[in-house]
Amino acid sequence: MLRYSADETPAQVSAKRVTQRGKQMLLLESASFTPAYSLVYAAIGTEESGVFLPSATDCKPKLPLLLPIDKIEEPVLQIVDALGHMAFFRV
């Protein structure tokens, strides 16, 4: 369990790993909470001892969004909406 204020608001993402210019990237195709509010933050990183450690962030994400995961063995995606709902996904 990550020590951030992830809540029980239902969230879903559609994402896939892609290679671009020889680097591994996560292509975030869609992300939403129910009820739907604008996505205001997306980050990719790792989890260490229950703490999320972001390695790349976007404070005004426009989908589709590419996030670098080249050196991350077990990436974790974080999304946040305009109301502050937060969710984490292992990808």
The two structure tokens encoding residue 4: 């951030």
Q: pLDDT value at position 1?
A: 39
On whether residue 5 sits in a domain, the answer given is: no
Mean pLDDT per block of 10 residues along the chain (91 residues) reads 65 95 96 92 94 95 96 94 92 90
Q: How many domains does the chain have?
A: 1
On whether residue 3 sits in a domain, the answer given is: no
Domain coverage including residue 68 = 11-90
Global confidence as pTM: 0.90
- Strands of 1-91 (E only): list them: 11-20, 23-33, 39-48, 51-58, 65-68, 76-81, 86-90
Task: From 11, 54, 51, select the one nearest 31 (Cα to Cα).
Answer: 11
On whether residue 29 sits in a domain, the answer given is: yes
On whether residue 69 sits in a domain, the answer given is: yes
CATH label of the domain that carries residue 64: 2.60.40
On whether residue 59 sits in a domain, the answer given is: yes
On whether residue 77 sits in a domain, the answer given is: yes
Task: From 85, 53, 22, select the one nearest 76 (Cα to Cα).
Answer: 53
On whether residue 1 sits in a domain, the answer given is: no
On whether residue 6 sits in a domain, the answer given is: no
Q: pLDDT value at position 8?
A: 82
